[in-house]
Amino acid sequence: MEKTRVLVVDDSALMRRIVRDILESDPRFTVVDTARDGVDALEKIGRYAPQLVTLDVEMPRMGGLEALKEIIRRYRTPVIMLSSLTQQGSAVTIEALALGAVDFVPKPDLKHIESRECLARELLQKAAAVPGARVMPAPVPQKQPVSVRVKEATQAKARRVVAIGASTGGPQALEKLLTALPGDLPAAVLVTQHMPPSFTRALAERLNKLSALDIKEAEDGEPVLMGKVYVAPGNFHLEVDGSHCVRLSQTPPVEYVRPSATVMMKAMASVYKNDALGVILTGMGKDGAEGMIAIKRQGGMTMAQDEATAVIFSMPRAAIQAGVVDRILPLGEMSGMITALCRRNVNESGSRL
């Protein structure tokens, strides 16, 4: 088996050694070299042509974000960011994912052996997915008219709901999808993105600044309103009860994840019946497939991102193989289809999406 060649980039000699030791403990990887900053990294990528780069965010001379832009522009090499757990670190990490980083691993407190074991487990799992990953450069930002940025004020509970599940590559895909939806979308949108606490809030805040829709991290008990987007908080499942209010729970993980798209979609199917639309975006694993089955059983519609535009196709593939996906679309066509389906027969009570 050919080993994946990795370049480790970090300004800390200790972190470079730790990450190198973790990767070289696994026979699937070989570390071709290490680099202390972005300038050093770009020179060594040109020399060694690694298949994966682990990249620190904060470095001298050339920081992580600047280096990431150059790595993607010049080489299209997959990058996994190493991020601090601070609020600022979360926001920078979300920006890195939007720029095209494949994934990220939070830096734990390395004073404790449990933290090192957690870092090793997560880094190896995410690095193993890289050979099948596609690097998607950030789209050229579209200038929106000022009116688009005015959030639609409404207190009407949503009669229709769009439930979106995503994992690896999801933040970038969500940004492209949600910013293309109109502010007067006649539905609520619920999002499960596999991500730790604090990072989901940073994701929601970034998306809210870019979208015509009102986007926030979901809070337990709040009503699900038309034209609003609710992002599941890290470590909580997002559901909706019979009164169309958000319910957050810490029931056991499903498919090893919490929040789970399947948990969210099953709740949507139960409450909204044929007025639910399930959407699976790029991601590793098979979370969401069982949720899409539940939506179809209740008469709702389903949609999955196609392989050509997905960073990792595992989650869409699992739903497609279950035989419950109505439409398989490129990411760029999904917002238009979602809008059309939500507006179909919008004034007819109880109509199918």
Model confidence pLDDT, tens digit, residues 246-259: 999 999 999 999 99
Instruction: Give the mean pLDDT of 68-97.
Output: 90
Give the fold, CATH level 3, of 4-132.
Rossmann fold (3.40.50)
Q: In this prediction, what percent of the chain has a pLDDT beyond 90? A: 81
Here the tokens at position 162 are 């769009």
pLDDT for position 58: 84
Give the fold, CATH level 3, of 150-343.
Rossmann fold (3.40.50)
For residue 138, give the DSSP letter: P
pLDDT for position 72: 96
Model confidence pLDDT, tens digit, residues 211-270: 999 999 999 999 999 999 999 999 999 999 999 999 999 999 999 999 999 999 999 999
Strands 237-240 and 246-249: antiparallel
pLDDT for position 87: 66
| Sheet strands (E) in the chain | 4-9, 29-35, 52-56, 79-83, 103-106, 161-166, 188-193, 214-217, 228-231, 237-240, 246-249, 276-280, 301-305, 327-329
Domain extents for the chain?
Answer: 4-132, 150-343
Look up the pTM and report it.
0.92
Q: Fold identical between 4-132 and 150-343?
A: yes
Instruction: Give the mean pLDDT of 312-323.
Output: 98
Catalytic residue annotation: 167, 194, 287
Torsion of CA 215, 287, 132, 307, to 10 degrees: -70
pLDDT for position 108: 75
Give dist(CA 107, CA 115) in Å, integer.
9
Residue with the bigger pLDDT between 114 and 340: it is 340
| Cis preceding-peptide flag for 259 (omega within 30 of 0) | yes
**pLDDT exceeds cutoff 80 at 111:** no
Contacts of residue 225, Cβ cutoff 8 Å, sequence gap at least 6:
154, 155, 156, 157, 158, 188
The SS3 assignment for 328 reads strand
pLDDT for position 149: 47
Q: Give the best-scoring range by mean pLDDT among 98-112, 130-144, 303-317.
A: 303-317
Instruction: Give the mean pLDDT of 309-336.
Output: 98
Give dist(CA 46, CA 351) in Å, integer.
57
HSE-up of 330 (CA within 13 Å, CB side)? 5
